[in-house]
Homo-oligomer: A and B are copies of this chain.
Amino acid sequence: MTAEHWLEQLHDHGYRITAARRAVVDTIFGATHALTPIQVYDAARKKYRALGLVTVYRTLEKLEELHLIQRVHQPMGCQAFIAAGVGHQHLLLCQQCGQVEFFEGDDLEALTKSIAKKTGYQIKEHWLQLFGLCANCRA
């Protein structure tokens, strides 16, 4: 999965490849921190000066729609985005520096079955997120 592949994906869904979209994609692809629209704007403008903030919003919307990025919910706010994980993955966030990683291998089946029985709910999805200190920030 490369930034060029994101552009292909956009193209395959009938969207045009533009300098503005390239700048946004290049900025958010491979970022190790979740970025807010303004942060994307500031960073992407270094690659493409004429970029408008509106276009950032519109591009993020499309990338989210294609599941190439996903929103990151945090205590501070829920307006940040990061490259989406592939398959079933969850986020691990550093409370100090904001670094974001994915992990997999959670097994919540026993739990969800037990809760379903107890509550009468049919459970369809789950959100799981871990917070802590990354190796760097622990030191």
Contact = CB atoms under 8 A, between A and B. Distances in A.
A121 B105 contact: no
Taken together, the copies of this chain in the complex come to 2
Nearest to A125: B131
A119 B133 contact: no
B115 A92 contact: yes
Interface residues of A, number: 34
Contacts of A115: 92, 103, 130
Interface in A72-90: 73, 78
A112 interface: yes
B124 A95 contact: yes
Interface in A47-75: 73
Given A73-B78, A121-B133, A126-B130, 11 more contacts: A95-B125, A101-B119, A103-B115, A106-B111, A121-B132, A121-B134, A123-B132, A124-B133, A125-B132, A127-B128, A128-B129
